[in-house]
């Protein structure tokens, strides 16, 4: 009893705590040395990672064999129902199975990923750092059927506190985006795109705010937080879509996220709330939607290099139930 | 790939403009469009068949060089 400090007193001692608060309060923002923002397309990456895991239905088995620290081959077998687009309220599913062979070459400067299915469809991704600041990304989906192949190439330039991207795609698709850090926590960006084939063009704006409080400041407040991180993003596009997301890292292992999408042209609203538990041996993500969809995704590490995956989704409105399980080796 | 509509109406005008080739059916721009279509198609076929072998060749020649049997065996 004698050894414990009385309630209300700071852990570090009054003088030291005040000095720390003063330091943080007086720290001036150097507007010429702002950090580089994250790329425009990854603006909502925390929300997407927490709320949109790769849900699947059926059985999946992935085997990745590394021949080299840089080069690996992957074999993937999938058996499960495939959804067909249907006009009515009923969802049509047909059972399918496929085998996919893939090769990856991952180097700090060059990344090549290729996947080919049994029906001849190829998915290719290339990422190449041409210089320190300029990088080229290309991805393509090629198939044997005519007019079913698509490709897109991106040029990214990273400046001191801004990023720009130029995008060229097949079907006369042109896009450009720019994102700039305004303060150490806030970045704003915009994009413009033109799709010749579909005769669509659009302009979009986005903002991202992230916050990160250090453990030292938390001690002075007498309530122990882990490093608190929250991210809020907002995006508007002239295709009528407004998207906002908020992710809060409650503790090292738990993250909560929420997402709101509103299409003002078609008056469509979707809101979702989700959680993301990153535990030592497992990662569990769950989501609840305003469309009546509840989903969960579990990845558990059974052993070194052996992962067990469970995916479940219930759509109450359409009465559609999806369950998937799988094993990932390597 | 995107199909391009050939402009037949403007063809004749362009023919006379390009050094008096009114007698021939194709104009320079049509030739160019056909050539780009043909080359894009060939590039697509080459990418389709050659991308994965390209990755394998680059991977097998990187350090440390893996052996050929490692490519086929499941271990």
Burial class (CB in 10 A: 0-12, 13-18, 19+), A202: middle
- Shortest Cα distance from B20 to chain A (angstroms)? 32
For an interface test with A, give the residue of B42, B43, B51, B71 to mutate (most A CBs within 10 A). Answer: B51
CB of A65 within 8 Å of any CB in chain B?
yes
Helix (H) or strand (E) holding A221: none
Q: Between chains, do B54 and A112 touch, taking CB under 8 Å as contact?
A: yes
Q: Please report the pLDDT score of residue A28 as a whole number.
A: 75
CB of A103 within 8 Å of any CB in chain B?
yes
Nearest to A46 by CA among A263, A211, A161: A211
* Range with lowest mean pLDDT among A1-15, A316-330, B23-37: A1-15
Nearest to A167 by CA among A204, A148, A192, A203: A192
- How far is B11 from B17, CA to CA, in rounded Å? 10
Tens digit of each residue's pLDDT (9 = 90 or more) over A213-235: 433 322 233 223 334 478 888 88
Total-model pTM: 0.76
Tens digit of each residue's pLDDT (9 = 90 or more) over A140-160: 999 988 888 899 999 999 999
Domain boundaries, chain B: 49-75
Q: Please report the pLDDT score of residue A35 as a whole number.
A: 84
Name all contacts of A78-86 with Cβ < 8 Å and 24+ positions apart.
Answer: A80/A56, A80/A324, A81/A57
Q: Please report the pLDDT score of residue B24 as a whole number.
A: 58
More confident residue, A240 or A151: A151
Q: Between chains, do A112 and B71 touch, taking CB under 8 Å as contact?
A: no
CB of A81 within 8 Å of any CB in chain B?
no
Answer for the pair A155, A136: CB distance below 8 angstroms, yes or no.
yes
Where residue B9 falls (left for φ over 0; alpha for ψ -120 to 50; beta otherwise) is alpha
Tens digit of each residue's pLDDT (9 = 90 or more) over A58-84: 999 999 999 989 999 999 999 999 888
Q: Please report the pLDDT score of residue A234 as a whole number.
A: 82
Question: Quick check: A306 pLDDT over 60?
Answer: yes
Q: Please report the pLDDT score of residue A44 as a whole number.
A: 84
ipTM over 0.90: no
- How far is A276 from A228, CA to CA, in rounded Å? 15
Tens digit of each residue's pLDDT (9 = 90 or more) over B6-48: 444 444 544 444 444 545 567 899 999 999 989 988 999 999 9
Q: Please report the pLDDT score of residue B73 as a whole number.
A: 83
More confident residue, A289 or A146: A289
Phi, psi values for residue A217, rounded to 5°: -65, -35
Q: Please report the pLDDT score of residue B10 as a whole number.
A: 46
Q: Please report the pLDDT score of residue A62 as a whole number.
A: 95
Q: Please report the pLDDT score of residue A95 as a whole number.
A: 93
Contacts of A326 by beta carbon, 8 Å cutoff, 6+ apart: A56, A59, A60, A61, A62, A308, A309, A311
Question: Quick check: B64 pLDDT over 50?
Answer: yes
B69 to A28, A116, B74, B75: CA distances (angstroms): 60, 21, 10, 10
Nearest to A328 by CA among A128, A150, A64: A64
CB of B72 within 8 Å of any CB in chain A?
no
What is the distance in angstroms between the CA of the first residue and the CA of the last residue of chain A? Answer: 54
DSSP 8-state class, residue B44: H
Q: Between chains, do A116 and B52 touch, taking CB under 8 Å as contact?
A: yes
Q: Could you give the percent of chain A with pLDDT greater than 90?
A: 52
- Shortest Cα distance from A226 to chain B (angstroms)? 42
């Amino acid at each position: 009893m004698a050894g414990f400090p009385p309630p209300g007193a700071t852990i570090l001692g009054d003088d030291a705590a005040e000095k720390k608060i003063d330091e943080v309060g007086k720290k001036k923002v150097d507007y010429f040395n702002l950090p580089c923002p994250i790329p425009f397309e990854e603006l909502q990456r925390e929300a997407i990672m927490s709320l949109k895991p790769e849900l699947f239905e059926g059985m999946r088995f992935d085997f990745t064999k590394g021949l080299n620290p840089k080069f690996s081959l992957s074999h993937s077998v999938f058996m499960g129902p495939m959804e067909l687009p249907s006009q009515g309220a009923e969802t049509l599913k047909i059972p399918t199975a496929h085998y996919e062979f893939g090769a990856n070459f991952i180097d700090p400067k060059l990344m090549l990923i290729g996947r080919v299915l049994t029906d001849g469809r190829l998915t290719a991704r290339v990422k190449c750092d041409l210089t320190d600041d300029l990088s080229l990304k290309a991805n393509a989906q090629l198939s044997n059927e005519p007019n079913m192949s698509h490709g897109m190439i991106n040029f990214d330039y990273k400046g001191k506190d801004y990023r720009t991207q130029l995008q060229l795609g097949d079907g006369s698709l042109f896009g450009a985006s720019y994102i700039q850090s305004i303060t150490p926590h806030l970045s704003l960006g915009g994009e413009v795109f033109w799709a010749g084939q579909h005769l669509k063009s659009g302009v979009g704006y986005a903002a991202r705010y992230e916050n990160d409080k250090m453990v030292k400041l938390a001690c002075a407040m007498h309530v122990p937080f882990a490093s608190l991180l929250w991210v809020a993003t907002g995006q508007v596009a002239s295709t009528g879509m407004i998207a906002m997301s908020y992710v809060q890292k409650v503790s090292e292992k738990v993250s909560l996220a929420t997402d709101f999408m509103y299409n003002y042209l078609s008056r469509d609203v979707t809101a979702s709330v989700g959680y993301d538990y990153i535990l030592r041996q497992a990662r569990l993500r769950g989501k609840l939607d305003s469309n009546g969809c509840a989903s969960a995704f579990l990845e558990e590490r059974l052993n070194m290099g052996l992962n067990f995956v469970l995916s479940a989704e219930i759509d109450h409105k359409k009465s559609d139930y999806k369950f998937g399980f799988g094993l990932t080796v390597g | 790939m995107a199909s391009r509509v050939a402009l037949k109406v403007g063809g004749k005008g362009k023919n006379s403009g390009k050094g008096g080739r009114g007698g021939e059916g194709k104009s320079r721009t049509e030739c160019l469009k056909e050539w780009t279509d043909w080359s894009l198609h060939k590039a697509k076929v080459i990418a389709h068949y050659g991308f994965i072998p390209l990755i394998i060749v680059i991977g097998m020649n990187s350090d440390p060089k893996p052996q050929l049997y490692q490519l086929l065996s499941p271990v």
